[in-house]
Structure 1
Amino acid sequence: MSVSYGAKVMALSLLCASMAGCGLPRSGPNKAEIYRGSVLKQGDAFVVQVNSRVTRATAVTPSYGFSNGFLNAGVIGSDQIAAGDKLSLTVYENVKDDPLLGNSGQRLSQLNELQVDGKGEIFIPYAGRIKASGKSPEELRNEIAGKLDSQTPDPQVIVQRIAGDGSTVSIAGEANAQGIYAIERPTRTLSTMLARAGGVKIDPGQAIIRVTRNGQTGKVWLQDLYQNPALDIALRPGDQIVVEKDSRAFTALGATGAQNRVPFETQTLSAIEAIAIVGGLNTNLADPTGVFVFRNEPSEVANAVLGRNDLVGAQRMVYVLDLTQPTGMFEARDFLVRDGDTVYVTEAPYVQWQKAIGAITGTTAAATSLTGQ
């Protein structure tokens, strides 16, 4: 027995209705569903409309810098001797016969490549072990001459630092030329040493410079280092310098040009810049009144935003941007996105209508095809 046309249409309609009950495809929750998650409606997140006060309260950016131990360290003398250095010693003795250090008839004696040991000392015949590290060649010359003076009349001593291997720093990470570099007259500060290593091989706006000294670490943005001379710290032997790429990122979802995890390209990133980076709003899908930023906010910031003082621990916050408002674009320009944020753009209401109509149109077409059988 053949199935009637009306029965076929009814069956397809019931199938469509059952599919609609499961929800049409979409990129995420709509505005109403997000608002239903608000604390005011027994949800677990605070939903806040962004305004100038909220923008000021949430304008928290990473603050890098150096402690006083780094900032107050003076530039070391370019000729200061350190453990590991190599020295050249020349002694002129004021005698014709039987000199103390040289052969008979030889007034000039040379000791080349004297290695300053791990204790910072060197050994000089007839003068013994002498502390050399921390002294300039002139200071060491005077001390050696004083020790030899009681054994040979009026010795004239010349001390030269021929290799500064003891006063070195290491440079690693995203530097153009990683390696071990001696602290010399032109490279006694952080910026000049970075220049000696060829600068950085990443975007300077994403470069962070980390310096570790005696177990203490400080960080600075490369751009801040160039713009603020006070951050250009003096180096010390053994400093470890690492060039790092900024690891901060946000996630873009919903009706945007692209849905992805996106790294920061600058020290600060506004909501409008974040949207632009992912290709802007999808003009066929996006609802410009429903731009949301999801964030776990520290309690001190959450209290400031909400005008409270009783919140403890990180709070789930949902910040709402309406780009259609008279000041909406300005608020989006001033509101800062932070590391770990999720920027979500809802679909316009009519998009779901279009999808529903498409589903109905598809059902009708299917019914029509059945009648042709």
Structure 2
Amino acid sequence: MTEYRWLLPAVLHGDPGEGQPGVRRSTRDWAVDMFVFLGAAGTGLLMALALRSDTSTPQPILLADQVVGALACAAVWLRRRWPVGLALALLPVSLLSSVATGPVCVALFTVAVHRPLKFAALTGGLHLLTLAPYLCWRPDPELPFWVEFTVAALLYVLLVIWGMFVRARRQLVLTLRERAERAEVEAELRVERARHLERERIAREMHDVLAHRLSLLSVHAGALEYRPDMEPHDVARTAGVIRAGAHQALQDLREVIGVLRIAPEGTTPDRPQPTLADLTGLVEESRLAGMEVTLDMRVSDPAEAPARLGRNAYRITQEGLTNARKHAADAPVGVTVAGGPGDGLTVEIRNPVTVGQAIPGSGSGLIGLTERAELMGGRLDYGRGPDGRFRLRAWLPWAA
């Protein structure tokens, strides 16, 4: 018995928050409760008026019927807090009082609305069992027993069905409301995720563009630092290159932020993006910065490469040259680009590993390149090869 004691509060009390201490009823709740009370009291008043014509029942019993019925009407105010408890408490009342018919109907309806079907069936069945003794004790002289019993039983059944319908409708409304709130939250999460991905995309693009430009500036600034004996015209030329590089870096930064803010993922940005054919210009730019770079282009027609493939190949090569400039500025660098439709595109960058002063780096560039290659369905690996040279190799799919 002890393991079922926890069920008693849930069975006897209403839904959480329904009439519980500390929970205020709304204006609608007060209006509904007032309407229900007046309906139960009006039904009891009609039954009390009908009792005046009952001459077969002793007056004390009729008076007790009216008093008990009035108390039952007052107890209707407790229906929200104790729906099942009220219905069970009215069981002995329904055996004695016809004035309590209204409160009994209200109690059965409330149980069907606020409690599951098994509790509504239990209380409804118990009240049906009290009909037979009551009708035998105080029968209606104008109606046969079976007709009166059938009408009362149908009334109870209809009240339970009506209450179940109201309960089902309320649950449906709550479910739809929860789904709407869940959909709103999921939409906010999708927007936040889209913003996060856009920030990552902007950061990746800014890193690819600015790291290359800033590494060039570092190389030229280093030449001024370690060659204080340079001719004045060489100093002026190097300073002009630094100024032009800084201006170009700022311009690239403005273009990247402006384009990525308005261009959704998967669309073609308005800003002209680098292609596979632009690798020659990238290599020439590195040569002007003092690097020894050789380009082995084994693609018959680089201009025919898809835009997305060319853009990613360009960014991978750009980052590879930037890393070589940071960590092996004086070493020769070899760039090999090979492949074609159906076979994919392979980009390989090789340079010796040197010991010396290097431009600091965080290592996030290689991580970003790996993500860039994987997003395209390709792969990227890097590290020191058997010959001691550092190698960065990427393979990107190229549809036939």
The TM-score range, normalised by the shorter chain, is under 0.3
Rg bigger for which structure?
Answer: 2
More helix by share: 2
- Please, what TM-score do these two structures have when normalized by structure 2? 0.22
- Please, what TM-score do these two structures have when normalized by structure 1? 0.23
More strand by share: 1
